[in-house]
Amino acid sequence: MSETFFWHSSGWQHSHACTDRAVQFGDGLFETMRCAADGSVPLADYHRNRLVAGLKKLGFSANARAVVGEAFESACHSSHPGVIKLIVSRGETERGYYAPADLTPTVRLQHFPASDFSDKPLSVCLSDVRLSQQPALAGLKHLNRLEQVLARNALPDGVDEALMLDTQGNIIEGIMSNVLISIDGEWHTPRLELSGVNGVTLAWLKERATIHESVITCADLERACALVFCNTLTGFRSASSCGDMVYSEHAEVSLWQKQLRSLYL
């Protein structure tokens, strides 16, 4: 049995072994869900679909998926307004990457207050942190978020969001959001086969509007008349600028935001 110590100001002290694979390897997924005033989760189906797809892609067993599914349903019916965050770990093992198939997953639930929706335009820049390309993990809301941590910590004062590019220089997403741009009257969002997160709010929008999944470069930003970011907590936010480029607010975005907000009344 390995020994684990915990640091206190007085020195190292014995502690229970920290064998959770989420801590050891980031081996897990999470969902951050905005609740309506009555505590329900309006986009629960979209969160569930992404979570189930992620569990399958990471090779969680059928029994493990059933445990997570039960916890998910309980969380979505907790009647707790605000924001809930569900963190799923594959379980606990000793050292080593190998994960036995019969592990029991660990599911954590956190509650947070929800910020009001805002229509204030965003100030945006390009992030110097590049997103790696890994098709085995692309689309997943996995626990390995160090790229986003680096990008968020490097965000200049007064700038609200940053566009993150992959190693080929293509735009993938914002630090905290998915991205949409309007070019010649059509809406485009980056393709996410190699990196990025399949956003729940974007999935909701795709069922209501024509959104083209495209390879988007920095040159496309100069052709775009509107740049929009979306996620579960903030909904749709238009960018006022990105560097020297200036964008206008689009009437369609206001409609999307109004429709989304109505779900949470």
How much is the pLDDT for 78? 78
User: Between 157 and 3, where is the model more confident?
Assistant: 157
Nearest residue to 132 via CA among 166, 179, 109, 106: 166
Q: In the structure, what pLDDT confidence band is assigned to residue 19 with cuts at 50, 70 and 90?
A: confident
How much is the pLDDT for 15? 62
Which one is the CATH code of 5-112: 3.40.50.150, 3.30.470.10, 3.30.70.1350, 3.40.220.10? 3.30.470.10
28 with 143: CB under 8 angstroms? Answer: yes
Nearest residue to 145 via CA among 173, 121, 124: 173
The values of phi and psi at residue 153, to 5°, are -70, -25
The values of phi and psi at residue 146, to 5°, are -65, -30
- pLDDT tens, position by position, 168-220: 999 999 999 999 999 999 999 999 999 999 999 999 999 999 999 999 999 99
Query: Rounded CA gap, 190 and 201, in Å?
Result: 14
Residue 138, token pair as written in the block? 């692309």
Query: Rounded CA gap, 204 and 231, in Å?
Result: 10
Location of structure tokens 């569900």: 86
181's torsion region: left (phi>0), alpha (psi -120 to 50) or beta? beta
- pLDDT tens, position by position, 84-113: 999 999 999 988 999 998 999 999 999 999
Residue 251, token pair as written in the block? 């009437």
How much is the pLDDT for 95? 83
- pLDDT tens, position by position, 26-80: 999 999 999 999 999 999 999 999 999 999 999 999 999 999 999 999 999 877 7
48 three-class SS: helix
Q: Looking at 126-230, list the stretches that DSSP marks H as alpha helix, in order from N- to C-terminal side.
A: 146-153, 200-206, 218-223
How much is the pLDDT for 11? 75
Domain boundary assignment for the chain: 5-112, 122-262
Residue 134, token pair as written in the block? 């890994």
What DSSP character marks residue 82? S
Q: Looking at 82-169, list the stretches that DSSP marks H as alpha helix, in order from N- to C-terminal side.
A: 146-153
Residue 2 scores a pLDDT above 60: no
Nearest residue to 193 via CA among 133, 144, 132: 133
What CATH architecture does domain 122-262 belong to?
A: Alpha-Beta Barrel (3.20)
Location of structure tokens 């969002």: 189
Q: In the structure, what pLDDT confidence band is assigned to residue 18 with cuts at 50, 70 and 90?
A: confident
How much is the pLDDT for 14? 67
The values of phi and psi at residue 157, to 5°, are -60, 140
Location of structure tokens 């909904």: 235
